[in-house]
Structures are given as structure tokens and as C-alpha cells.
Amino acid sequence: MTELAVKEQQLQQAAQTYQEIKEEIGKFIVGQEDTVEQVLWAVFAGGHALLEGLPGLGKTMLVRTISEVMDLQFSRIQYTPDLMPTDITGTMMIQPDEHGAQKFHFHPGPIFSNIVLADEINRATPKTQSSLLEAMQEQTVTVLGEMKRLPNPFFVLATQNPIELEGTYPLPEAQMDRFLLKINVEAPGREELKEIALRTTGLEEIELKKRVDGDFILNAQKLAKELLLADHILDYAVTLIMATQPDEETAPEIVKKNVRYGSGPRGLQSLVKIARVRALFSGRYHVSVGDLKKAAFPVLRHRIFLNFEGEASGVQPDEIIQKVLDAADLAVKAK
């Protein structure tokens, strides 16, 4: 079998397995197709995701279900105002050894898992929120000057309530940028509400099958990086990012009027990563403009920071992103 044939087989197998994962998750999670898909994009791109929505929409259950289907070690951290950084990372404790001598031993915290659910992350104070920064960026934890490496694969899937709710602390910009995606979890419709009630209040228990493991995820991440990214596709991605910056000539009027500062290099990297994963699970060898457009909303909505006028007028990031996409299309046609 030729190398090209092997790659084609790997692509088709990855796309088929991805559909099986979604179907298995769908046995337990009602609706939320876009949310499930976007969380899986983040996982297979090797990044972290922030899920925002009102309480009771199933954000926590979705993350737990994904960990079961993917056969990954799972831990949940319930963020509260009194949570301390050491409750997350772990700490050094003095314990006697076999000779009776007192020595420091490291007791790992819940961060040492494949999937870490940071539940209601914006309920904790900024000091505790920042304890995730090193783990999310470097996949390490430093305790008393000693660096500990986290498992591989490693993902932080955080949930937060809308910042308008009482008792929340907005995440700082530096930490928001560490999340590959920000996913808006929408409320279910009428039929979905009925199905949720039937599935969760009856006697029948749903058993989930383990469809993949950590090795499959790591191999899929590597395979996605091998997909072709044409120069004109990369140019389009760059044009998108540039159009989010208010001092850029190609930026639409809504950006110049309402945005304090837009996305940067990490936003471009995230856009390309997600577009590659989407192409992979579509069974294609190459990234398309359509992949970039689908990735734009969850990738950019937390990387566009409004100025005072934007916040006062109530303009939404998704509205700005749509105008940015329109401006990028016009810029490409003008060339």
C-alpha cells in the first residue's frame, strides 16, 4: 500500500470514528450538536475550551460524558470564592520515610488528569483562576520551585456563568486567551426539553461505550497537523485576524467604533488549528475557507475586547465577527 493510500485510509478512519464519538455522546446529551462538535474540535486540536451558559444547561454533564466516551482520566474542580491555588495544583507535605526522617512529599491535586473540568471557573477569585495559567500553557505545574509535568493528553474544559450574574469574577484577558475556544451553550428548545425529561427522570439507565483512548487522540492531533494549508487560505485567515483590530485599514466600521483591541497571533494559530481538525473529520486532505469561517466564531468571540462605547451599546462579539467575515470576503474579492 502506497503512503498516499495509507494517509487516505487514516483520514477516512478518523472521520468515521469522529462520527461514532458524536453518536455515542448523543445517546446521553440531548441536542447541543454545535456545542458537542466544538468541544470535540478543541480536544482534537490539543487545546482548552470555555463553555458559557446559564446554570442547568448540562455543561458539566457534557464534559463528563465526553471523558467517558474517550476513556480519559477525569477530575472535576468546583470553583468557589474560598478555593485556593493549592487545592488545584497540589502541595508539598511533610511525611516520615522508612527511617523516621521527615521529608517533603508531593501530593498532586485534581489538575493531574487528562480532562479537568473547571466548573463555574468565574466563581473563584482572580488569584485562584490564575493558578491554571501555567498548566494550560506549558502543561506543567510548579510547586515550591519544583516542576511537575501533567499527563498527556491534557485538556481544561471550563464552564462559566454569564458575567452579569451575581458573585462572579471575570477572567483576565491573559487567561481568556489561553482558551482555544469559547463556546456559547444555548438553552434547549421545546422538543429537546421533553426528551431531557424523559431520559433523566425514568428508570432506564444509559450505558456509554468507550470509543477511543488517549493514543487515538494524540495520533489524530498529529494527523491534523499534516493536512495541507494553501497559501491563499492562510492569507484569508490573516485577513480575518487583521480585520478584528480597530487601527487596521480593512477593519469594518463596527470594529473601529466598538473594539478596544482585537485578536493577535494566538488567535491566528487557534483559527488554523481548528480549521485543520474540521477538515480532518470531514475526510479532506486540505483546509478550506469554509473551515475557517465555521471556526471563526468560537475562536474569536473571547479575543475581541470592547471599548466603553461598545459595552454601553450592547454590541455582541458574534455580531462583530460576522461583519469581520464580510469584510474579509470583500478584501479577497478586491485583490
Q: What secondary structure does DSSP assign to 18-70, as a single string?
A: HHHHHHHHHTTS-S-HHHHHHHHHHHHTT--EEEE--TTSSHHHHHHHHHHHT
Q: What is the mean pLDDT of residues 170-174?
A: 79
Question: Is residue 4 in some structural domain?
Answer: no
pLDDT confidence of residue 38? 92
Angle at 124 between CA 122 and CA 127, to 5 degrees: 110
Which residue type occupies 193? L
pLDDT confidence of residue 27? 78
Confidence of residue 84 (pLDDT cuts 50, 70, 90): confident
Residue 264 shares a structural domain with residue 122:
no
Do strands 140-143 and 49-52 pair parallel, antiparallel, or not at all (unpaired)? Answer: unpaired
Residue 267 shares a structural domain with residue 122:
no
Question: Is residue 288 in some structural domain?
Answer: yes
Question: Is residue 29 in some structural domain?
Answer: yes
The CA-based dihedral angle spanning residues 179, 237, 305, 42, taken in that order and rounded to the nearest 10 degrees: -20
Residue 84 shares a structural domain with residue 209:
yes
Residue 140's H or E segment, with its range, is: strand 140-143
Question: Is residue 271 in some structural domain?
Answer: yes
Residue 84 shares a structural domain with residue 194:
yes
To 10 degrees, what angle do helices 3-26 and 33-44 make?
140
* Residue that is last in its domain, among 215, 244, 279: 215
Give the N- to C-terminal CA distance of the chain in Å, as an integer.
43
Residue 151 shares a structural domain with residue 292:
no
Give the mean pLDDT of the chain: 84
Give the CATH number of the domain where residue 205 resides.
3.40.50.300
* Residue that is last in its domain, among 187, 215, 243: 215
**pLDDT higher for 195 or 274?**
274
Question: Is residue 220 in some structural domain?
Answer: no
Give the closest residue to 297 by CA, choosing from 182, 164, 126, 154: 182
Work out the burial of residue 160: count CB atoms within 10 Å of its CB; fewer than 13 is exposed, 13-18 middle, 19 or more buried.
Answer: buried
Give the closest residue to 297 by CA, choosing from 264, 326, 320: 320
Residue 74 shares a structural domain with residue 162:
yes
Question: Is residue 59 in some structural domain?
Answer: yes
Question: Is residue 222 in some structural domain?
Answer: no
Residue 162 shares a structural domain with residue 254:
no
Long-range contact pairs involving 196-205 (C-beta distance under 8 Å, separation at least 24): 196/30, 196/58, 199/28, 199/30
Do strands 102-108 and 90-96 pair parallel, antiparallel, or not at all (unpaired)? Answer: antiparallel
- HSE toward the beta carbon, residue 162, CA cutoff 13 A: 10
* Residue that is last in its domain, among 185, 215, 245: 215
- HSE toward the beta carbon, residue 309, CA cutoff 13 A: 8
Q: What percent of the chain has pLDDT over 70?
A: 95
pLDDT above 70 (res 1): no
Number of domains in the chain: 2
- HSE toward the beta carbon, residue 24, CA cutoff 13 A: 21
**pLDDT higher for 124 or 3?**
124
pLDDT confidence of residue 182? 93
pLDDT above 70 (res 66): yes
Give the CATH number of the domain where residue 267 resides.
1.10.8.80
pLDDT, tens digit, 9 for 90 and up, residues 98-110: 776 777 777 888 8
d(CA 317, CA 310): 10
Question: Is residue 223 in some structural domain?
Answer: no
Residue 58 shares a structural domain with residue 186:
yes
12 sits in the region (left: phi over 0; alpha: psi -120 to 50; else beta) called alpha
pLDDT above 90 (res 205): no
**pLDDT higher for 123 or 296?**
296
Residue 187 shares a structural domain with residue 251:
no
Residue 244 shares a structural domain with residue 124:
no
Domain around 144: 12-215
For cell 491566528, what's the residue? 268
Residue 136 shares a structural domain with residue 285:
no
Residue 251 shares a structural domain with residue 129:
no
